[in-house]
Chains A and B, each alone.
Chain A
Amino acid sequence: MEQGNGKKLVIGVIGADVHAVGIRILEYAFREAGFDVTNLGVMVSQEEFIGAALETAADAIVISSLYGHGELDCRGMRDKMDEAGLDGLLLYVGGNIVVGKQDFVDVEKRFHEMGFDRVFPPGTPPEETIYYLKKDLGVD
């Protein structure tokens, strides 16, 4: 494992989504890469992400959604974060965030408009997410 980089992540699978495997893999990969990870597991509400990010003073929230309702579940997340005093906190989403095979450029645009800093298409390997996390958080 790389030495801790001091950056704290709150991760979890949003909404009523129970796909439990991917988030474990992400937790493991992020830890190996030196992050301090709070994994909230599956079926995580927006409020839980926010509460955990507040208490742990997280540097980023990474949301996973696999069952297709990601867009609905993520709506309003950024606004709630602003309300909670987490304005500007780095916010990622990935997995299979929408139903079926939609043009990802459109999907990405919609999620950007919802206030997500980075939006990842299905099949994104953990390494890629780690690369961007380090870049965005200024970790060498």
Chain B
Amino acid sequence: MHYALLIDFGSTFTKVTAVDLISEEIVGTASAFTTVDSDIGTGLNVALDRLRRVTGDIAFEFKSACSSAAGGLRMMVSGLVPELTAEAARLAALGAGARITRLFTHELTRRDLIAIEADPPDIFLMTGGTDGGNRACMEKNAEKLRSLSVQFPIILAGNRQAIDACEDALADFPVTVCPNVMPSFGVLNIEPVQREIRDLFLKHIVNARGLSKTKEILSDILMPTPSAILSAMKLLADGTEKETGIGELMGIDVGGATTDVYTIARGEPVDMNVICKGLDEPYAKRTVEGDIGMRYSVAGIVSEVGQSWISERSGLTADDCATYISELSDDKSKVPLTHDDALARFDHALASGAVEIATRRHAGVLEEAFTTSGLIYVQTGKDLRSVRQIIFTGGSFIHAQSPLDIARHALYTERYPMSLRPKQATVLRDDRYILSAMGVLAEREKDIALRIIKRELVPLGDISLGDDS
């Protein structure tokens, strides 16, 4: 009984990982295809059969899961000013592993309400105003949501003076109240909301996602997959009381539809002549680029970096690139047949572009301000230049032939000197996709999870500024 079973219900695959809690080893992994329509339990059973072939019949002390099945945790968030409470709400939801289907600022409009009704979220996070500040935004939005014909859990996490009125207006909805995401100007307080999101995920979403059928075999379904990955990254960076972490890091997951970037780093300014602006930055931060991905979001990558960039890096002619772009839009399941065929080279360029853009959007930026007493810099976001470790997870990177060349695109470059990305880094790769499983395991066994992560991540080498550009 000294084994743990960790399950990751994905949108296309269900992955299972068996861990020996005494030897602290992964004794087997397996996966099975799941379609949106097929019962999620079927995929799990197939995966478990495959796992058994590797591990033999073993009994599990506990079975825990994370899930991004059926579109993941779909949230809508609302706030007042785009850079302030709406941004705080966005950071809170992303950090909790959600996918944000809509973000609203200021007051909801009739069109917004129609959009909400047409595709209701799993959870609606409503914010607006500092404590004692603007009440109208939350109160009016609550009044408007009241009129909807659909219902969903709502988290109220804005101006505490507005909460009573909102609760009254939303009496028909399952409402929970959390501390303000921005209690006073510029101050970020998102952990309470994130805990609440996870609770709601357990209580409501798991049922709605057909996962409850698997409940009898599971000890618990713990969290959305991205939240498990973020928690594994945080564990790896910070360590535990008994086991040291590896320090500040950046994590990158280039997927088929989106690209996620994680940083566990303070990112505070290093120079004296830098002034920080904007909202506080979360120490453990996750951003998701919905328009950057290897299959469903090829167009997004190409439109950002340009077709010539792709053809230059893939060595393909502009015509060949155009052909692949259109072929991939028709057939998302196309994969390279060999390591160096044309599609593999095209994928290499795409992944490089995805890393380039997603890290640039995640990292903080400097702006120059010329003052008569000299040059001053204004920083928004995190300064990641001293982060020294980059972790890659996700398929596109695992199968890549020259991963370090792709990874270089996460670094600081003279071409974008104001983008505060790491100047040099050791690249580690999650070869066996264990990060989400370890995030789940860490809920019960932090030290074991950490030691396994440290052992499993494969160091690919060091990259530094100026290696290539």
| Bound together | yes
The answer to whether A55 and B85 touch across the interface, beta carbons within 8 angstroms, is yes
CA distance A36 to B185 in the complex (A): 12
Question: Contact partner of B134 among A41, A47, A56, A67, CB < 8 A?
Answer: A56
Tell me if B135 counts as interface (CB < 8 A to partner A): yes
- Contact A51 to B184, CB < 8 A, known contacts A16-B369, A18-B373: no
- Contact A55 to B369, CB < 8 A, known contacts A18-B376, A38-B184, A42-B275: no
- Contact A43 to B133, CB < 8 A, known contacts A52-B185, A55-B185: no
Knowing that A55-B128, A56-B130 touch, tell me 15 more A-B residue pairs with CB under 8 angstroms.
A8-B132, A10-B185, A16-B371, A17-B371, A42-B275, A43-B277, A47-B83, A51-B83, A52-B84, A52-B186, A55-B133, A55-B182, A56-B132, A57-B132, A57-B133
Could you say which residues of chain A place their CB within 8 Å of the CB of B378?
43
Could you say which residues of chain A place their CB within 8 Å of the CB of B85?
55
CA distance A123 to B76 in the complex (A): 50
The answer to whether A57 and B376 touch across the interface, beta carbons within 8 angstroms, is no
Tell me if A87 counts as interface (CB < 8 A to partner B): no
Tell me if A40 counts as interface (CB < 8 A to partner B): yes
Question: Contact partner of B369 among A8, A43, A54, CB < 8 A?
Answer: A43
Question: Contact partner of A57 among B134, B184, B371, CB < 8 A?
Answer: B134
The answer to whether A16 and B132 touch across the interface, beta carbons within 8 angstroms, is no
Could you say which residues of chain A place their CB within 8 Å of the CB of B129?
55-57
Closest chain B CB from A10 CB (angstroms): 8
The 4 lowest CB-CB distance pairs between A and B, nearest first, are A56-B133, A57-B134, A51-B81, A57-B133
Number of A-B contacts (CB under 8 A): 62
Closest chain A CB from B35 CB (angstroms): 45
16 contacts between A and B (CB under 8 A): A8-B132, A17-B371, A18-B373, A38-B130, A38-B185, A40-B185, A43-B376, A43-B378, A54-B80, A54-B84, A54-B134, A55-B84, A55-B129, A55-B130, A57-B134, A57-B135
How many chain-B residues does the 8 Å CB contact rule pick out?
A: 25
How many chain-A residues does the 8 Å CB contact rule pick out?
A: 21
Could you say which residues of chain B place their CB within 8 Å of the CB of A79?
none
Could you say which residues of chain A place their CB within 8 Å of the CB of B130?
38, 55-56
Could you say which residues of chain A place their CB within 8 Å of the CB of B134?
54-57
Proximity string of chain A (22-40) to chain B, C-beta cutoff 8 Å, 1 when within and 0 when not? 0000000000000010101
Please list the residues of chain B having a beta carbon within 8 angstroms of any beta carbon in chain A: 80-81, 83-85, 128-130, 132-135, 182, 184-186, 275, 277, 369-373, 376, 378
CA distance A58 to B72 in the complex (A): 39
CA distance A47 to B132 in the complex (A): 21
The answer to whether B277 and A48 touch across the interface, beta carbons within 8 angstroms, is yes
Could you say which residues of chain B place their CB within 8 Å of the CB of A18?
275, 371, 373, 376
CA distance A18 to B314 in the complex (A): 48
Residue of B nearest to A67 (CB): B372
Closest chain A CB from B188 CB (angstroms): 13
The answer to whether B376 and A54 touch across the interface, beta carbons within 8 angstroms, is no
CA distance A58 to B83 in the complex (A): 17
Closest chain B CB from A138 CB (angstroms): 18
Residue of A nearest to B370 (CB): A16
CA distance A93 to B98 in the complex (A): 44
Closest chain B CB from A136 CB (angstroms): 20
Residue of B nearest to A42 (CB): B275
Residue of B nearest to A47 (CB): B83
Closest chain A CB from B337 CB (angstroms): 52
Could you say which residues of chain B place their CB within 8 Å of the CB of A51?
81, 83-84
